[in-house]
């Protein structure tokens, strides 16, 4: 209790603590981003083998906790001192201690990003239940964005618990009233579901995945039905700008699919932090308020 009281009365210590927690969480999110797709693939293979009455050969136990992290080039086991967020990367100069192979920039970037979004949450919500909600959501969005950028997948193992977490937070009274949260989740899911089917009927192609529907449903449960439209507009605008830039600058094929999850996550996080101001500006723009 004394620690909590100290954090409440010492702003710099409160912010520093949130940033440090964010850096540590970011280190774990790197593991999630790297291992979750492989875990999913292993489960899919096991389900297919079961349907075909086949047995998969026993392999090394693999989940988010075991085996310990190691260098993909030389299998050097990463020690605790080599896994200090940001600091270890700087001291190792971005290279493996064992074989000196370069370490991906993903690791410090995810750690720094998570620390930054945790700081924003701490600044926006202060010491409150809303802070806990925003930190859980922020960590989930970082993980989902990283996985989607790497694999164009938004795992149900993250999107569905995030949706239920948002709904339960509303029941407890930490976010919106339950009726608003449920309506927001429904509007979020059905809006992209409708776009998906209209696009498929018109072109015969799939424009997005079901993971996008579930992610927007979770965000809708947090911001309400009125907050879904700004999320879609911001995500679509940013996605279009980046997509055009990649085509013009990098010569990317227009038919190459672009992951939409990171844009939804970014727009959703903005809406969670500044939703009231955005809605006020939206209403003023259209003369609704």
Domain-ending residue, one of 89, 116, 143: 116
Lowest-confidence pick of 22-31, 39-48, 176-185, 221-230: 39-48
* 76 pLDDT tier (thresholds 50, 70, 90): confident
Compute the average pLDDT of residues 223-245.
88
The whole-number pLDDT of residue 275 equals 81
pLDDT value at 1 more than 60: no
- Residue predicted with more confidence, 92 or 114: 114
Residues 182 and 285 reside in one and the same domain: yes
The residue behind tokens 């239940």 is 129
Alpha-carbon separation of residue 254 from 236, 240, 243 (angstroms): 16, 12, 8
Residues 103 and 138 reside in one and the same domain: no
Compute the average pLDDT of residues 257-271.
92
pLDDT value at 7 more than 70: no
The whole-number pLDDT of residue 58 equals 65
The whole-number pLDDT of residue 50 equals 75
Residues 217 and 263 reside in one and the same domain: yes
Residue 65 domain-assigned (yes or no): yes
Domain-ending residue, one of 83, 116, 149: 116
Residues 62 and 144 reside in one and the same domain: no
* 254 pLDDT tier (thresholds 50, 70, 90): low
Compute the average pLDDT of residues 63-79.
82
**How much of the chain, in percent, has pLDDT values that exceed 70?**
89
Residues 110 and 145 reside in one and the same domain: no
State pLDDT tens for residues 128-172: 999 999 999 999 999 999 999 999 999 999 999 999 999 999 999
CA dihedral 89, 93, 95, 98 (to 10 degrees): -90
Compute the average pLDDT of residues 235-263.
80
The whole-number pLDDT of residue 8 equals 67
Residue 48 domain-assigned (yes or no): yes
Q: DSSP for 206-250?
A: --S-HHHHHHHHHHHHHH-HHHHHHHHHHHHHHHHHHHHHHHHHH
pLDDT value at 274 more than 60: yes
Average pLDDT of every residue of the chain: 87
Residue 215 phi/psi, 5-degree rounding, is -65, -45
Q: What is the pTM of this model?
A: 0.90
Residue 122 domain-assigned (yes or no): no
Lowest-confidence pick of 37-46, 87-96, 220-229: 37-46
Beta strands in the chain (DSSP E): none
pLDDT value at 99 more than 80: yes
Identify the three-state secondary structure at position 95: strand
The whole-number pLDDT of residue 66 equals 80
Residues 71 and 180 reside in one and the same domain: no
Residues 108 and 175 reside in one and the same domain: no
Residues 65 and 177 reside in one and the same domain: no
Residues 159 and 136 reside in one and the same domain: yes
pLDDT value at 272 more than 90: yes
- The number of distinct structural domains making up the chain is 2
Domain-ending residue, one of 82, 116, 150: 116
Compute the average pLDDT of residues 47-74.
76
State pLDDT tens for residues 181-222: 999 999 999 999 998 888 888 887 777 788 999 999 999 999
Q: Which domain holds residue 279?
A: 128-289
* 281 pLDDT tier (thresholds 50, 70, 90): low
């Amino acid at each position: 209790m004394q620690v909590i009281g100290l954090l409440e009365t010492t702003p710099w210590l409160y912010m520093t603590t949130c940033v440090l927690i964010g850096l540590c969480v970011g280190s774990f999110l790197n593991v999630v981003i790297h291992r979750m797709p492989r875990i999913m693939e292993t489960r899919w293979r096991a389900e297919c083998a079961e349907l075909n009455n086949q047995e998969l050969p026993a392999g090394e136990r693999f989940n988010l906790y075991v085996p310990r992290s190691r260098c993909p080039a030389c299998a050097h086991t990463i020690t605790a001192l080599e896994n200090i967020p940001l600091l270890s990367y700087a001291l190792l100069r971005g290279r493996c201690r064992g074989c000196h192979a370069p370490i991906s920039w993903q690791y410090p970037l995810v750690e720094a990003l998570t620390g930054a979004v945790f700081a924003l949450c701490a600044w926006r919500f202060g010491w409150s239940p809303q802070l806990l909600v925003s930190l859980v959501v922020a960590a989930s969005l970082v993980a989902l964005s990283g996985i989607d950028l790497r694999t164009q997948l938004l795992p149900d193992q993250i999107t569905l618990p995030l949706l239920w977490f948002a709904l339960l937070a509303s029941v407890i009274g930490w976010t919106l009233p339950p009726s608003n949260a449920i309506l927001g989740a429904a509007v979020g899911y059905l809006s992209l579901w409708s776009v998906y089917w209209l696009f498929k009927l018109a072109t015969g192609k799939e424009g997005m995945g079901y993971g996008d529907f579930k992610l927007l449903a979770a965000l809708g449960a947090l911001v309400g039905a009125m907050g879904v439209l700004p999320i879609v507009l911001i995500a679509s605008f940013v996605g279009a700008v980046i997509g055009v830039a990649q085509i013009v600058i990098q010569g990317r094929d227009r038919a190459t699919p672009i992951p939409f999850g990171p844009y939804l996550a970014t727009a959703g996080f903005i809406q969670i932090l500044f939703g009231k101001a955005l809605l006020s500006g939206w209403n003023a723009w259209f003369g609704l308020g």
